[in-house]
Amino acid sequence: MLSEKITSALNEQMKWEMYSANLYLAMSAYFSDVGLHGFANWMRIQYQEETDHALKFYDFVLSRGGAAKLSAIDEPPAQWANALEAFKAAAAHEAEVTRRINELVHLAKAEYDFATDVFLQWFVTEQVEEEESVKNIIDRLKLVNGEGQGLLMLDNDAAARVYTPPANSAA
């Protein structure tokens, strides 16, 4: 059984994961609007992953006897100056997600909730991957100054990304 404090924190993270999904869908729309359909694809897949993450929290809360609470989600931004700035915003967002996951791990350990701690370790590992993938795109965008044929080549690379549901996911 989850404590009220843990349940509240997990529900807050579920809300944050849904905000993340909306942010990436907004970025996908932005990239579609500016004709970078590969990056739009990359962000749409990111949206799907974040939705999966929210559902992992939802399912975990329910499986531990907690009440899953669906809260209102803030509207994400809709415009960025260019591809590099959009990915920098994604990197800053992922750093915040990592900070939040780390706080949840700390709370689970403080509450001696080892099941929640084990559950959260998947997200700790996932955040390393999330931050690295965005950083790699930023590094490449910087190499091509975020413009010209290099930008189009990176956009083409991003078009090849394929959605893969997480292991043990009902999604």
Distance between CA 14 and CA 2 in Å, rounded? 15
Neighbours of 143 (CB within 10 A): 10
Interatomic CA distance for residues 147 and 56, integer angstroms: 38
> What per-residue confidence (pLDDT) applies to 171?
43
pLDDT at 166: 81
Q: Please state the domain extents for the chain.
A: 4-159
Q: Is 80 helix (H, G, I), strand (E, B) or coil?
A: coil
Give pLDDT tens digits for 4-18.
999 999 999 999 999
Distance separating alpha carbons of residues 165 and 171, to the nearest angstrom: 7
Question: For the domain 4-159, what is the CATH superfamily, name and number?
Answer: Ferritin, core subunit, four-helix bundle (1.20.1260.10)
Percent of the chain predicted with pLDDT > 70: 98
pLDDT at residue 169 above 60? no
73-127 pLDDT, tens digit per residue, is 999 999 999 999 999 999 999 999 999 999 999 999 999 999 999 999 999 999 9
